[in-house]
Structure 1
Amino acid sequence: MQLDIRAQTLLKALVERYIADGQPVGSRALSKISGLELSPATIRNVMADLEEMGFVASPHTSAGRIPTPRGYRVFVDKLLTVQDINGSEMDTRLHSSLQSNMNAQSPQKLITNAAQILSSLSQFAGVVVTPRTESIFQQVEFLRLSEKRILLVVVAPGGEVHNRLLLTDVDYTPAQLVQAANYLNQNFGGLSFTDARSRINGELRQLQNDMTRLMQAAVEAGSNAMDEDNDEVVISGERNLLNVQDLSSNMGSLRKLFDMFEQKNSLMQLLDVSSKATGVQIFIGGESQLVPMEEMSIVTAPYEVNGKIVGTLGVIGPTRMAYERVIPIVDITAKLLSNALSQ
């Protein structure tokens, strides 16, 4: 829905004032801070229109208004003026903090340091998904559990064991399962699942279709099992969010917040989505099904190693955050971490 310049200016002023002090913003205050020569009555009419369109809401306890998730979305997408931190004290601190760990040549230290920097500079929670390593298997084994139910056992080169249940269209005999496992181990053991998948598609046409399907399913399931077990999220500063009244004002919100940190499933899903995008992404609670809380936003960016996206980092905080400050923090941290890991 299109907003005219007057409505955009008033919405921008309202969101900025609400982010600054957390109090509903009235028409009289907007007439002073917006820079528009409008009467309070005219401003009230515009506010009524914005409320009808779903961009602002009126708390029961006040005549002022606050932004809705939809209002925040318009603000960050179209109205926000992002701070330029190049050459600033923040920029210097970011560079020196990551630079200090480069001598150790430890990717894990760089990643942990990046999460701490994000948390320290934003005063919220910093999160980094560690780079995914290519899923290489040493051997596989099939165990027949029952008709059309098979347990796939994948052994990695380091000895780690990953399991995945396969539901098949065909009831394979134990002899067929041994034959399939032997073929995979002899011909593809030591390869990544990506390489094995492409070779299977090209080399197994001479085998029975049923056996080909089993091996393809095994490679797909094995790759997924190892990827899931390898996913690791480094989180720093979760306790900062206890000091954010918008997030900690009731036990229900706190429970959702720390369930997300503990279980990590929804967090990993969200960060995986953002790793497929370019540049900074902003997920605002209430308008994003991936964010579990109405009052929470996540600002993310992917990072790279030698030009290939390998992970995601970001800041988790309240919807009432200073986006113009957090966005460049996330953006430059992703670029610095990419540079550090690529050297």
Structure 2
Amino acid sequence: MLDQRAQTLLKTLIERYIADGQPVGSRTLSRYSGLDLSPATIRNVMADLEALGFVSSPHTSAGRVPTPRAYRLFVDTMLSVRPLEEAVHQLASQVQTSLQPAGPQQLVASAAQVLSHLSQFAGVVLTPRRSQTFRHIEFLRLSDKRVLLIIVTPDGDVQNRIILTEKDYSPAQLVEAANYLNANFGGHSFDDVRTYLRGELDALRSDMSALMQAAVQAGSDAMADTTRESVLISGERNLLGVEDLSSNMERLRKLFDVFESKTGLLQLLDVSSRASGVQIFIGGESNLVPIEEMTVVTAPYEVDGQIVGTLGVIGPTRMAYERVIPIVDITAKLLSNALSHH
């Protein structure tokens, strides 16, 4: 779409705007672009770029600033993320130090803090889904037609749910039902039990099948409560110091809405977990990022080769992408390694 001259001027404009935070004028472009062009020629190219939606002109300045569309072109085709080997080792060392051997929850929380500290923006981590399987269940009769379902997960967590039944079950019947489920489905999910029962109800006594159906539903609800993903955020206050995000009250309100509801972040991080490698979501081009001046850089992380969550950095569109991208990439890889060896 753009010829080489226009690409060079646009790349120069974006780099200068990221560095200085000020609208970029023709004189600055002439000085930094390395092109031997007259100011009139540069202004003509800028007018063409503005017509194409790559730059805009703030009312108070003769200079221009990049649009989300320009940032997208920049990160997709113009950016060379080749940090020096020494810088990579230094970054990896900092992340590794912060992710000292700890439990999985501490490792994930540390990753959010590392991302925030190294980027000086906000770090965000979508926590891993916990196991949906059960290791062992028990039924405990509470009173007529009220049974306590006790679920023990492979991690040793215990969940309790009360089941209201249509008939009164004796303790012996409850033990019989629990033994049947444990013997046939221990280590499986309640969805597996439901699928099996759907085809085998005729083979079970009607009184037992009713209890098991109630147990499957209650068990599924209990496990859904414990396996729901959550978002950990660190360093939100860093963004209050970013003028691009905090100088406008409406923008600031939207920013806090993002952190308060977390629903949008969950959707965005869930989407990025389906792709491999670093993903960049730039505000203004995606409904997932509600603020035009905001960018989210994400990468999935794994346990034993299986993607279990996503992490990333939330910052302004005017960020040093060549620095933030390796931070996110290396943190994801080191967190994956730490969790897999836990």
Q: Specify if TM > 0.5.
A: yes
How much does 1:81 deviate? 1.7
Task: Determine the C-alpha separation between the residues in 2 that align with 1:162 and 1:40.
Answer: 74
The corresponding residue for 2:66 is 67
Runs of 5+ consecutive residues of structure 1 not aligned to the other structure:
142-152, 164-172
2:195 equivalent to 1:201: yes
Q: What CA deviation, in whole Å up to 9, does each residue of 1:75-113 have, x standing for no partner?
A: 11111121414322x6324324424643x4422232222
The corresponding residue for 2:336 is 338
How much does 1:318 deviate? 0.5
CA-based RMSD: 3.3
8 Å Cα contact 2:95/2:334 also seen in 1: no
- More deviation in 285-294 or 107-116? 107-116
8 Å Cα contact 2:115/2:328 also seen in 1: yes
The corresponding residue for 2:10 is 11
SS of equivalent to 1:313: strand
Identity %: 57
Q: What CA deviation, in whole Å up to 9, does each residue of 1:149-183 have, x standing for no partner?
A: xxxx98653344689xxxxxxxxx9749x9xxx99
Q: What is the one-letter code of the residue matched to 2:308?
A: V
Q: What is the one-letter code of the residue matched to 1:135?
A: Q
Q: What is the one-letter code of the residue matched to 2:199?
A: R
2:21 equivalent to 1:27: no
2:300 equivalent to 1:306: no
2:119 equivalent to 1:122: yes
How much does 1:281 deviate? 0.4
When Rg is computed on C-alpha atoms for both structures, the one with the higher figure is 2
8 Å Cα contact 2:151/2:219 also seen in 1: no
How much does 1:286 deviate? 0.9
Q: What CA deviation, in whole Å up to 9, does each residue of 1:35-87 have, x standing for no partner?
A: 11222222222211111111111111112111111111111111112141432
The corresponding residue for 1:166 is none
Q: After superposition, where does 1:99-248 map in structure 2 within 5 Å? A: 99=97, 101-102=99-100, 104-136=101-133, 156-157=151-152, 158-160=157-159, 175=166, 188=181, 195-198=189-192, 200-201=194-195, 204-207=198-201, 224-228=224-228, 231-248=229-246
Q: Structure 2 length normalisation: TM-score?
A: 0.79
2:293 equivalent to 1:295: yes
Q: What CA deviation, in whole Å up to 9, does each residue of 1:233-274 have, x standing for no partner?
A: 222211111100011112222222122222211111111111
Task: Determine the C-alpha separation between the residues in 1 that align with 2:297 and 2:235.
Answer: 15
SS of equivalent to 1:50: helix
The corresponding residue for 1:39 is 38
8 Å Cα contact 1:14/1:66 also seen in 2: yes
SS of equivalent to 1:283: strand
SS of equivalent to 1:87: helix
- More deviation in 112-121 or 194-203? 194-203
The corresponding residue for 1:147 is none
